Structures are given as C-alpha cells and as structure tokens.
Amino acid sequence: MKSSAAALFLIGVMAVPLADQIVAFLWTLGIGMTAGLCHVIYRAISDTLRLKKVGTFAGDLVFWIVLTVISFYVLLRANYGQLRLYVFIGLLLGAFLFTHFLGRHSYRLARWLLRAGAWVAGCLAMLMGYAWKLISLPFKIVFITAVFPVRLSARALGGVGNFAGRVIGKPFRRFKVRITSWLGSIRAKP
C-alpha cells in the first residue's frame, strides 16, 4: 500500500506533459524579458532623478520586492507555481536576452520618454499658471480697489496710533510688570 501511494505521488509530480513544460518555459522567458524591461525603466528613472545612496537603496528594495511578487504571481498563473530548473533558466535567459539585445535601446527610449514627459508636464504647469493668473486677475483688481483706501487711512492713522502707544505704553508696561510679579508671588507660596 505504501509503495503504490508513493508511486502515485511520483507519477503526479512527474506527469507534466512536454507541451505544458514548453509553454511554461516560454512564460518564464517572457517574465524574464519583462523583468529586464522593468529594470531598464527603473534604471532610467533612477538616473533621471539622480537618487542618493538612501534613495537608491529604498528604490532597489521596493523594485525587487514588487518584481518578485509579480513574477511569482505570474508563475502561479502560468504553471501553478512549480519551481523547476527550466523556470530559473527561462527567467535568467529572458532577462539576459532582453538586456543584451534590447537593453541599450530601451534605456535610451525610456530616458527620452521621461524627458519628453517632464517637458510636457512643465508646459502644462506653465499653461495652468497663466490660466490661474488670468482667472484671478478680476479678484485681484477688486481686492486692490477695496484694500487700498483702507491701507491709506491706516497709514495716516498709524502715526497717531504710534504716538498714543508711546505715551500710554510706559505706564501700562510698569503695571504689567507689577501684576506679573504679584501673580508669580502667589504661585510661589505653598
């Protein structure tokens, strides 16, 4: 009984048709090539942003964690998560093939796309700034029209206010010091 159960177990593990293995190998090649593309894009972003040591470390950590999770998810969908030698060969071969044949061109394209995106974002920001100035212009005119007379009268009265503050200020400061010292003496008693 034990030998037949062990034989069924071995047959269940080994009984993957060659066609399914080839399809899984092609999936792993695709995953490896996609990982190579993702690495090129990440490298272009990292070079564009000129990350320091901590930023590079954090970016690398997040990149590899996300790439590992996505790779294992696709492996689960493609070949039910069976890790065999051809899976690792396919991943490494796919990444190598992409990096060797398409890596340099993809890096240049990614850098160009990032620069073009930054230029477009800058143009949009400039247009939005001009639109904001155009929209807020009537409100600024109303604000200046309403505030200017008030400021002018405040400056005129400010001289009178400063004189009154100097005259009244000295006795008030002395009174404030007396009150504060009296309150301090009350708090100091146990």
Separation CA 143–CA 137 (nearest Å): 10
pLDDT tier at 29, thresholds 50, 70, 90: very high
Residue 184 confidence (pLDDT) above 80 = no
CB 94 within 8 A of CB 36: yes
Residue type, 77: R
Please state the separation of Cα 43 from the chain's center in Å.
Answer: 15
Note the pLDDT of residue 78. 80
More confident: 112 or 4: 112
Question: Residues 6 or more apart from 51 whose CB is under 8 A from it?
Answer: 59
Record the tokens describing residue 98, joined without a space: 């992409």
Model confidence pLDDT, tens digit, residues 68-109: 998 888 888 888 878 888 888 998 999 999 989 988 899 999
Model confidence pLDDT, tens digit, residues 107-160: 999 999 999 999 999 999 999 999 998 998 888 887 777 777 766 666 666 555
Note the pLDDT of residue 164. 56
CB 79 within 8 A of CB 20: yes
* Mean pLDDT taken over the chain: 80
Note the pLDDT of residue 1. 44
